[in-house]
Amino acid sequence: MGRYFNLMKTSAASTRIADYSLAIDTSAGTTVAVLSMGTVIAEVNYLEPMTHSERIGSAIEKVLADSGIQANQISTVVAGVGPGPFTGLRVGLAAARYFAIGAQAELVGVCSLDSIALDFYIGNPSAGNLLVTTDARRKEVFWATYSGVVEGVPVRTHGPSVNKLEDIAGFIDASSHATTELGVRAGALGQIAFAQELAGVANRKDITPIYLREPDAVPSKGKKVSG
Confidence band (pLDDT; 50, 70, 90) for 55?
Answer: confident
Per-residue pLDDT for 8 more than 90?
Answer: no
Strand 20-25 to 74-80 pairing: parallel
Strand 140-150 to 130-137 pairing: antiparallel
Task: Give the pLDDT score at 214.
Answer: 61
Per-residue pLDDT for 154 more than 70?
Answer: yes
Of 219, 217, 210, 220, nearest to 87 by C-alpha is 217
Per-residue pLDDT for 227 more than 60?
Answer: no
pTM for the predicted model, two decimal places: 0.86
Confidence band (pLDDT; 50, 70, 90) for 10?
Answer: very low
Residue ranges of domains in the chain, CATH in brackets = 2-199 (3.30.420.40)
- Alpha-carbon distance 156 to 16, whole Å? 34
Confidence band (pLDDT; 50, 70, 90) for 7?
Answer: very low
